[in-house]
Structure 1
Amino acid sequence: MPLVSDTFRSIAADVLSDNWGTLTRHRFSLRRRDGTWDDQTREVYDRGHGAACLLHDTQADTLLLTRQFRLPMQVSGQDPYLIEVPAGLLDGAAPADRMRAELMEETGYTVGPLEHVTDLITSPGSVTEYLACFVGTYRRDNQVGAGGGDATEGEDIEVIHMPFDDALAQVRDGRIRDAKTVVLIQELALRRLIAPAD
């Protein structure tokens, strides 16, 4: 982050918490469109960047998804068991390499080529994270491990093979609400919509 620019001037940065991620309170001055400077205070959470991937079995027309407990949803009074695409933090690895490791850890599946779709910014108002989003294909016989996540990190991940039409319906009616998952399912739906006729 530049300390001084044409529109931004940092005043102070105070670390409030440095456990799993880093929560910092920033005081800064921001130049408004009318040219005046406005002093502001915001908190920013930095937990690193991540990767996410939607895998599609083209023969069975199913998607490889997961379901797991998410504490923030429990705290906010929502259903805490979210349906999601496999995802994880990069921890210094290249996004595609980390995604392959995460797929094995969460689902037990190995995959062929992964196609990078976009780098998705999930919550720009308070979180620094971006997610490198991928799509790829899988087959049921590609499973070589148990999956389920890393139990030492408290993970207990259910693997789901969901028909594409069911997944799209769940996006539409709100049963699938995780942003990265919604975006990647809609990406597949758009590809089908604009695919040339055979």
Structure 2
Amino acid sequence: MSKMSEKSEFDRNDVEVRQIDNLYQGFFTLHGYQIRHKLFAGGWSDWFSREVLERGHAAAVLLYDPKLDQVVMVEQFRVGAYPTASSPWQLELVAGMLDKEGEDPEAVARREAGEEAGIRLGRVEKLYSYYPSAGGMTERIHLYIAQVDASQAGGIHGLASENEDILVHVLDRCDAMSLIESGRIDNAAALIALQWLALHIEPLRQRWLNGDQ
């Protein structure tokens, strides 16, 4: 078995775009691509059509109190969950869209923590940057974990101008993990961040409680 390379054998130069059409412009933008790409066995694919949702990029942050061993999460209505979920109110991480090109994702995480949870972030560490659904969206999520004082968290927050109605929850870490098992927490960013926390809990707490770099 060969060792997996850190990069694919292909890159952007192995793709050809014949045409891009603007199919829809609203809260999100939908583009239609006429595209082809190189094949693993050699040669090129046929030309084919794909629709791509342009919804911008986002930052999400897991708020964690190492002293109390608690996480702070938010609950809000999500229209995308409405057609299939028993309840479209999702238990999530604090998150927000990058409003402009080149905006610092960590700065967005700090801003959204104030707007959505009424709490200030202390130490912030980057976890991952990932595509939630690269088959049809350009969005990239920048995922963080941040140190907070969970005793200061609570209440209802959000911007009325953005139709936000956000309820803050403070959970013992073990209870949050149980909500993954029960299916109550079922969105990607929260699952990834909480599972990262489960794998790294001891060194993280030691580092943060001791003030280590």
Above 0.5 in TM-score? Answer: yes
Query: Amino acid of the residue matched to residue 138 of structure 2?
Result: T
**1:18 shift after superposition:** 1.4
**1:45 shift after superposition:** 0.6
Once residues 140 and 152 of structure 1 are traced to their aligned partners in structure 2, the CA distance between those partners, rounded to angstroms, is 27
In the TM superposition, what are the counterparts of 1:187-198 in structure 2 within 5 Å?
A: 187-192=196-201
Does structure 1 residue 63 correspond to structure 2 residue 74? no
Does structure 1 residue 18 correspond to structure 2 residue 35? no
Once residues 190 and 118 of structure 2 are traced to their aligned partners in structure 1, the CA distance between those partners, rounded to angstroms, is 19
**1:19 shift after superposition:** 1.4
In the TM superposition, what are the counterparts of 1:56-95 in structure 2 within 5 Å?
A: 56-92=64-100, 93-95=103-105
Per-residue CA deviations over 1:46-105 (Å, capped at 9, x if unaligned) read 111110000111222110100100011112344201100000001122111111110000
**Alpha-carbon spacing, 1:140–1:193, altered in 2? closer, same or farther (3 Å):** closer
**1:195 shift after superposition:** 6.9
Structure 2 unaligned segments of length 5 or more: list them.
Answer: 1-10, 207-213
**1:122 shift after superposition:** 0.7
Once residues 25 and 34 of structure 2 are traced to their aligned partners in structure 1, the CA distance between those partners, rounded to angstroms, is 18
1:40 corresponds to:
48
Does structure 1 residue 100 correspond to structure 2 residue 110? yes
Once residues 13 and 104 of structure 2 are traced to their aligned partners in structure 1, the CA distance between those partners, rounded to angstroms, is 33
Per-residue CA deviations over 1:144-178 (Å, capped at 9, x if unaligned) read x9661111111100000011101111112211001
Once residues 204 and 72 of structure 2 are traced to their aligned partners in structure 1, the CA distance between those partners, rounded to angstroms, is 22
**Alpha-carbon spacing, 1:33–1:54, altered in 2? closer, same or farther (3 Å):** same
1:148 to 157, 162, 165: 157
Tell me if the contact between 2:78 and 2:90 (Cα under 8 Å) persists in the aligned partners. yes
Query: Amino acid of the residue matched to residue 159 of structure 1?
Result: V
1:30 corresponds to:
37
**1:5 shift after superposition:** 5.6
Once residues 156 and 186 of structure 1 are traced to their aligned partners in structure 2, the CA distance between those partners, rounded to angstroms, is 27
**Alpha-carbon spacing, 1:102–1:80, altered in 2? closer, same or farther (3 Å):** same
Query: Amino acid of the residue matched to residue 64 of structure 1?
Result: V
**1:15 shift after superposition:** 0.7
- CA-atom RMSD, angstroms? 2.2
Structure 1 unaligned segments of length 5 or more: list them.
Answer: none
Does structure 1 residue 158 correspond to structure 2 residue 167? yes
TM-score by length of 2: 0.83
2:177 corresponds to:
168
Moved more, 145-154 or 17-26: 145-154
Moved more, 173-182 or 187-196: 187-196
Tell me if the contact between 1:30 and 1:37 (Cα under 8 Å) persists in the aligned partners. yes
**Alpha-carbon spacing, 1:151–1:6, altered in 2? closer, same or farther (3 Å):** closer
Tell me if the contact between 2:155 and 2:167 (Cα under 8 Å) persists in the aligned partners. no
Does structure 1 residue 131 correspond to structure 2 residue 141? yes
Aligned length: 193
Once residues 151 and 6 of structure 1 are traced to their aligned partners in structure 2, the CA distance between those partners, rounded to angstroms, is 44
